Amino acid sequence: MAQFPKKQVLIIDATPMFREFLTEKLTEEKIEVETAQGHRDAVIKIANDLPDLIILDIETSIDDMQEFLDKKASNPNTVKIPMIVSGPKIEKERVAQLIHYGVAKYFTKPIKFDLFFESIGQILRSAFTMDITPCVLEIHLNKNIIFIEIAQGLNREKMALLKYKLTELMDKNRLDSPKVIVMMTDLSLSFVDGSNLELLFDNILADKRIERKNLKVLSLDSFAKEFVDGHTEYYGVEVVSNLNEVLNSVVESGSESTVQDIISDQILTSTGSDDGGSVEMRFYSDTGTSEHEEEQDSSQPFKIAIVDDDAVVRQLLSLSFKSINAECDLFSSGTEFLQAAKTNNYTLIVLDIFMPGISGFDILKNLQQFNIKSPIIVYSQSAQRELIVQSLSLGAKTYIVKPQKPDFIIQKALEIINGKL
């Protein structure tokens, strides 16, 4: 039986993280991968190999690649080879001009890699196997502590990407021996998740700078602890079910920080250089919106839901958010808000915990049940550690103790909206 020749992809000028990740994924799909660094090397390899697809990664400006693009277009053997380009944001007119050089798709960084591989598959006429399990996986850095938040499910594609994102983050911030805290209080696990947990921990520990004794896992699920405790490969990894134990490992001895300070300043705030990098941890499949729709949405005013039974608080917050051109819907009860949340896509939700009727905790549970992914700020009078832990465990992005100055709330809101928390 005749075998078809393998498809070949040439990756040009990609960052180490992006190059290695692409190579691993494409090789799994039985696609041959060649790499080139620099324009001269790229031109020679294109002419000699005539790949089926060129992936070009641009760090600074598309103008720096003009000479390379002209040489590719001037060769009748290479002019029609399709290209996928990733780079900084450029004008739509400039993207249209790239079609002349065979650019089939231009991705603005950080790219959503599920869309990226979908485009590769379309060009190569090859179907890629993709895990579509709903999963929120986010990383941020505070000093020498890397926080990994996992919710909804364990997606193997995101866990494969995690290995490279961690290395990129450590390289960028020159971390030699970071502490890593995995927060997955949202997950309910069983023995069928064993292989996924192995992939998760193996990818976290793949970089030797992360020691097992410095990896802590916050989980409310007993299976996670049983799995780690019974696995010799993860000896030294600690699974805890109480945020206090994690806080004790994070806060330096002698610290007089309040619980609110610890959570806001150390768990939920980034201090290092941990921008999106080459590839986005959030995928197209997470939102269901196209790239064009996302561009349109970014130009629209923020739409914020304020849920509080105190009329004064509602009005003060509404006036404060108007300073950033936000539209606010005000709700005095949880029942009223939940009805509106089913049909409105809110940029942000500000939620009180103690309200008559449906409490803020009930609202958080309902939002999870409805699969509503709008980020949530809990704004409450209580500073009890248990209530803060419960709020975060139910999906709140941060917890702010009343009262606070409007500028502080706006700052936290913008940090969350812009992906910094």
Q: What is the CATH number of the domain that holds 66?
A: 3.40.50.2300
Query: Does 119 lie in the same domain as 41?
Result: yes
Cα–Cα nearest to 133, from 154, 148, 161: 154
Query: Does 150 lie in the same domain as 45?
Result: no
**What is the SS3 assignment for 306-317?**
EECCCHHHHHHH
Q: Confirm whether 83 is domain-assigned.
A: yes
Indicate the residue type of 376: I
Q: Confirm whether 331 is domain-assigned.
A: yes
| pLDDT mean over 171-191 | 87
Query: Does 145 lie in the same domain as 98?
Result: no
Which one has a higher pLDDT value, 79 or 269?
79
Question: Which residues lie across from 83 on neighbouring strands?
Answer: 54, 103
pLDDT of residue 205: 96
Given CA atoms 164, 146, 379, 410 in this order, what sign does their dihedral have? negative
Q: What percent of the chain has pLDDT over 70?
A: 85
Tell me: pLDDT of 229 over 80. yes
Query: Does 108 lie in the same domain as 17?
Result: yes
Per-residue pLDDT band at 269 (split at 50, 70, 90) = low
Q: Confirm whether 164 is domain-assigned.
A: yes
Which one has a higher pLDDT value, 273 or 190?
190
pLDDT of residue 196: 93
Tell me: pLDDT of 290 over 60. no
Tell me: pLDDT of 394 over 80. yes
Of 252, 267, 282, the position where a domain reaches its end is 267
Q: Which of 96-105, 120-129, 206-215, 255-264 has the lowest mean pLDDT?
A: 255-264
CATH number for the domain including 221?
3.30.750.24
Of 93, 124, 155, the position where a domain reaches its end is 124
Q: Which of 72-86, 179-193, 341-355 has the lowest mean pLDDT?
A: 179-193
User: What is the number of domains present in the chain?
Assistant: 3
Average predicted confidence (pLDDT) for the chain: 83
Query: Does 144 lie in the same domain as 28?
Result: no
Give yes or no for a contact between 124 and 31, defined as CB atoms under 8 angstroms apart.
Answer: yes
List the structure tokens of 22: 């692409």
Which tens digit of pLDDT belongs to each residue from 89-146?
Answer: 888 888 888 888 889 999 988 888 888 888 998 899 887 788 888 888 888 887 788 9
94: burial class by Cβ within 10 Å (0-12, 13-18, 19+)? exposed
Sequence-distant (6+) residues with CB within 8 A of 18 are 57, 86, 164, 278, 279
Q: Where are the alpha helices (DSSP H) in 323-378?
A: 334-341, 360-369
Which one has a higher pLDDT value, 264 or 89?
89
| pLDDT mean over 159-166 | 90
Helix (H) or strand (E) holding 147: strand 145-151
Q: Confirm whether 82 is domain-assigned.
A: yes
Instruction: For 3, list phi and psi in degrees, rounded to 5.
Output: -105, 135
- In this prediction the pTM is 0.65
What's the Cα-to-Cα distance from 213 to each of 47, 197, 238, rounded to whole Å? 50, 17, 7
pLDDT of residue 251: 52
Query: Does 366 lie in the same domain as 306?
Result: yes
Per-residue pLDDT band at 272 (split at 50, 70, 90) = low
Tell me: pLDDT of 262 over 60. no
Helix (H) or strand (E) holding 108: strand 103-108
Per-residue pLDDT band at 282 (split at 50, 70, 90) = low
List the structure tokens of 381: 């009078």
Query: Does 387 lie in the same domain as 323?
Result: yes
Query: Does 148 lie in the same domain as 118?
Result: no
Q: What percent of the chain has pLDDT over 90?
A: 35
| pLDDT mean over 288-292 | 45
Query: Does 116 lie in the same domain as 147?
Result: no
Q: Show the domain range for 200.
A: 136-267
Query: Does 263 lie in the same domain as 332?
Result: no
Per-residue pLDDT band at 54 (split at 50, 70, 90) = very high
pLDDT of residue 323: 79
What's the Cα-to-Cα distance from 358 to each of 182, 344, 368, rounded to whole Å? 31, 19, 15
Q: Which of 33-42, 53-62, 150-159, 296-305 has the lowest mean pLDDT?
A: 296-305
